[in-house]
Every structure is written in C-alpha cells, then in structure tokens.
C-alpha cells in the first residue's frame, strides 16, 4: 500500500502502473485514457472507468 498522490494522508492499495502513483477511492480514475498504456488490459482503474462503476 502507498499514499495517494493527491491525498498523502490516505493509504491506498490502488496503484497506477503507467504513472507509478497511488490513487485513493476519491481520485480513482484513469488520468490520461487517450495515451497508450501497456498495463491497460490488467488495469482495474481503467476497467472500472470504462464500465462506469463509481463505488467499488
């Protein structure tokens, strides 16, 4: 687990492998979905954004 890039007081297990940053539940969305990401097929952040899931 790591600290959220936007909220350093929050520990989170969600890590963006493209940028190497951690994101909390509040910040959990793909930062630049237009740019290619080799991790996309295994990325839960991108998958949930694509499906429109808000709270997971």
Instruction: Please report, for the chain, the start and end positions of each structural domain, with discontinuous segments joined by +.
Output: 2-51
pLDDT digits (tens, 9 = 90+) for 5-56: 999 999 999 999 999 999 998 888 888 888 999 998 888 888 877 777 766 5
CB-CB contact of 12 with 27 (8 Å) = no
**pTM for the full model?**
0.76
- Residue 16's pLDDT is what? 92
3 to each of 6, 8, 26, 51, 56, how far by Cα in Å? Answer: 9, 5, 13, 26, 18
């Amino acid at each position: 687990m790591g600290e959220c890039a936007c909220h350093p007081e929050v520990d989170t297990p969600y890590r963006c492998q493209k940028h190497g940053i951690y994101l909390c539940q509040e910040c959990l969305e793909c930062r630049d979905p237009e740019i290619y990401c080799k991790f996309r097929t295994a990325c839960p952040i991108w998958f949930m954004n694509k499906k429109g899931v808000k709270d997971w």
